[in-house]
Amino acid sequence: MRWARWIYFGWCAAAVVYLLIANMRGYVPFSSSTVSHGGSHSGAGGGHGIYYHK
Amino acid sequence: MIRCPACPADVELRAEGQSAMVACSACGTEIDVSQRPPRIIHRFNEAPRRPLLPLGSRGTLRDRDLQVIGALQRSDSKGYWHEYLLFNSSTGFCWLVYDTCHWSFGVAVEDTSQLVVNALVRYEGRGYRRFRSGTAEVDWVVGEFYWGVHRGEQVFYVDYIAPPLMLTSERARGETVWTKLEYIEPAQIDAAFGIKSPPRQWVSSNQPNPARLQLRRILPALVASCVAVAAIQIGTVLRVREVTFPSANYHFGAVNEAPEKVFGPFAFTAPHSLNEVTASAGLNNSWVELDCVLVNATTGETFEFTDAFSYYSGSDSDGSWSEGGFQNTALLADIPSGTYNLVVEGLGADQSGRPLSQPVTLSLRHDVVPWTNFWLVLLAILAYPGYLLYRGRADEKERWESATP
């Protein structure tokens, strides 16, 4: 079981690094959003910085 | 070296002058060597015994060069075990006990005045719990011994444990002898004597609890990780901005009509952030589904998500029931800084398909604390120690199942 100690040590280190990076980026697993890069959306700006209320 | 009086074999004396008897390894005949000429105690004529540690084999244990000079098997109602007598001309005699694939190294307790025997035995500052007792009988003997042990000899024994230590008292013919045993890893025996011990099947009486031993080994990594995780999360809580924008209402349209409405602009100032969009409404046997798009007003980058919830209630033969809820929160992760608009197209209806008359309230919180990561990482870190805790308890249960009152 001695090798398990080092696997656990690596596992903990990876978990801590994950937490650090994920928290810095505001990332969470199972989030609700899907990203669409570079697209545009009708009436919502589409790169022109305009918005309106219907 | 003497000639066996019962068979043609030579019998080697490895502790000559200190041995009281020897059992011929060829025929098993027990010979009294405290007298000259040697005298037969019990004559046997059986196949040679092959103990796991061969007679005459040498090894170094506890910084002592030891030679195996005798072996015997005892048994009681629970099973059998082997006891090996080892000899060093400077340090004298000691024991190796082999019991169900486990080894213990034993030395006689010379000064029994240090023993305090109650329900718990205290010796050299440690408390030993009574573990097992019974009457053990010698099944067979080979090699030489410093007392007149013989086949069929019975002793009443009591084992007291404080893993990895064990104290054993053996009473026979009105005399009580105490032995202190210490658990020794089979790999050490294998390395010392060049043998291959069988794999261990279960936890023995004085074996250190393997899971708790492992828990102690990983404790530094566990503590360090928990400290690091707490520090990172506290730092995150202090760092995030947690901006709550004013809430707005979304009004539904006619049947099957999902009017598009745009809310904003919202200034996301954090470089990368987690954001929450909470939709809530006082539903009653109705549902809401909002298709939302968060649009970067500068780049046009979009983040699509759905906020849906429903609430139903009623009563049946089992009583009243309800399911669902009055709100739902969508998490928008890893959103870059910028100015955003929230575009919403929603549908909502009751059981009859009528559009909802009351609006849905939308609340947007920018740069919130990502607690999901914290709990997941904590779970990942604590899962193995948790398993070891469980395993440790199970091992102790297994250990004490072989105990006797």
Summarize pLDDT for A9-23 with one digit per residue, the tens. 999 999 999 999 999
Q: How confident is the model at residue A34 (pLDDT cuts 50, 70, 90)?
A: low
Question: Chain A residues with CB inside 8 Å of B291's CB?
Answer: none
Q: Which residue of B has its CA nearest to A50?
A: B297
Q: What percent of chain B has pLDDT over 70?
A: 100
Is A5 within 8 Å of B214 when comparing Cβ atoms? Answer: yes
Domains of chain B: 2-208 (no CATH), 243-368 (2.60.120.380)
Question: Chain A residues with CB inside 8 Å of B221's CB?
Answer: 5, 8-9, 12
Specify the pairing of strand B248-250 against strand B175-184. Answer: unpaired
Residue range B118-152, pLDDT digits in tens: 889 999 999 999 999 999 999 999 999 998 888 99
Write the residue in B225, B262, B367 that is nearest to A26 by C-beta: B367
Contact predicate B386/B394, CB 8 Å: no
* Count of C-beta atoms within a 10 Å radius of residue B364: 22
Question: Chain A residues with CB inside 8 Å of B260's CB?
Answer: 42-43, 54
Contact predicate B179/B109, CB 8 Å: yes
Which residue out of B261, B302, B344 would a mutagenesis test of the A interface target, given it has the greatest number of A Cβ atoms within 10 Å? B302
What crossing angle do the helices spanning B371-401 and B210-239 adopt, rounded to 10°?
Answer: 170
Report the distance separating Cα B117 and Cα B244, nearest Å.
70
Phi first, then psi: give them for residue B198, nearest 5 degrees. -65, 150
Residue range B305-338, pLDDT digits in tens: 999 999 999 998 889 999 999 999 999 999 999 9
Residue A45 reports pLDDT greater than 70: no
Q: Exposed/middle/buried for B338, CB within 10 Å: 0-12, 13-18, 19+?
A: middle
| Whole-number pLDDT of residue A53 | 35
Closest CA to B52 of B100, B114, B5, B19: B100
Pair of tokens at residue B58: 């040498």
A1 touches chain B (CB under 8 A): yes
With a threshold of 0.85, tell me whether the complex ipTM lies above it.
Answer: no
Write the residue in B260, B304, B381 that is nearest to A33 by C-beta: B304
Give helix then strand counts, H and E, for chain A. Answer: 1, 1
A6 touches chain B (CB under 8 A): no
Pair of tokens at residue B161: 């444990």
CA distance B2 to chain A (A): 48
A2 touches chain B (CB under 8 A): yes
Write the residue in B222, B306, B343 that is nearest to A32 by C-beta: B306
CA distance A7 to chain B (A): 10
CA distance B342 to chain A (A): 8
The helix, strand and coil proportions of chain A, stated in percent and rounded to the nearest 5, come to 45, 5, 50
DSSP 8-class letter at B49: P
Quote the mean pLDDT of chain A: 72
Write the residue in A9, A33, A53 that is nearest to B333 by C-beta: A33
Residue type (1 letter), B374: F
Residue B264 reports pLDDT greater than 60: yes
Report the distance separating Cα B287 and Cα B100, nearest Å.
66
Closest CA to B14 of B140, B142, B202, B172: B142
Is B373 within 8 Å of A49 when comparing Cβ atoms? Answer: no
Helix (H) or strand (E) holding B169: strand B165-172
DSSP 8-class letter at B360: E
Residue type (1 letter), B322: S
Residue range B195-238, pLDDT digits in tens: 999 999 889 999 999 999 999 999 999 999 999 999 999 999 99
A27 touches chain B (CB under 8 A): yes
